[in-house]
Amino acid sequence: MASETYENIELRKSDQVSELLESRRVLDDEVKMVIHNAEEKGEKLYEQESGMFLAKLRIANVTFYVKYSSSVKNEYEVHTAYSHRAELAEG
């Protein structure tokens, strides 16, 4: 793994996005983990029209999704994020 860690990531969010993430109980550290994984492994989708990326990461039994953009190394603008819990049982 690279020497850079998710803790080094700087997030920029509007007040509206901050309130939305808080209401969805999505923490900054979780957002940073998703972005770090996407940037390190290239596991992200690029939306050409908006110039934004969409990334996801499963942490424990929760999958987090983050829509973000970047203009400076290790600094990312968060546009939205959400999560969902899903457990599939074999039947």
Residue 40 domain-assigned (yes or no): yes
Residue 68 domain-assigned (yes or no): yes
Residue 1 domain-assigned (yes or no): no
Mean pLDDT for each consecutive 10-residue tract of the chain (91 residues)?
A: 75 98 97 96 96 96 96 92 83 68
Write down the residue that tokens 């039947």 correspond to.
Answer: 91
Residue 90 domain-assigned (yes or no): no
Total domains, the chain: 1
In angstroms, how far is CA 26 from the centroid of its own chain?
Answer: 10
Residue 52 domain-assigned (yes or no): yes
Contacts of 36 (CB under 8 A, 6+ apart): 4, 5, 6, 9
pLDDT (0 to 100) of residue 16: 98
pLDDT (0 to 100) of residue 73: 84
pTM of the model: 0.88
Integer Cα distance of 72 and 13 in angstroms: 15
